[in-house]
Amino acid sequence: MIISPAVQPLHFILAFLPTFILLIPILILWSLWWKGLALWHSAQHKQPWWFAIMLIVNTLGILEIIYLFVVIKLKVSELFSSK
């Protein structure tokens, strides 16, 4: 069966639709997890600029991970401590 070039993008999207449907909630949960941790720590460290930037900008957790581990230099064991 020959598929016309105009239908090929639609065929591609329909072929991977179940994967996309599963991937979207996973990415949302991943982003919310890191955003919540980073916002909490920026508030604890009294850094309103970081708080505002991370609240507005959505980077799927990349900016939040950089903030936590590079800017304030947390260790994994310190992620859930109050200091």
What pLDDT digit, counting tens, does each position of 17-70 carry?
888 888 999 999 999 999 999 999 999 999 999 999 999 988 889 999 999 999
- Backbone φ/ψ region at 46: left (φ over 0), alpha (ψ -120 to 50), beta: left
**Residue 7 pLDDT level (bands cut at 50, 70, 90):** low
Give CA–CA dist 61/37, Å, rounded: 10
What global pTM score does this model have?
0.73
Q: Where are the domains of the chain?
A: 8-78
Q: pLDDT: is 24 or 16 the higher one?
A: 24
CA torsion 56-62-67-73 (nearest 10°) is 170
Please report the pLDDT score of residue 12 as a whole number.
75
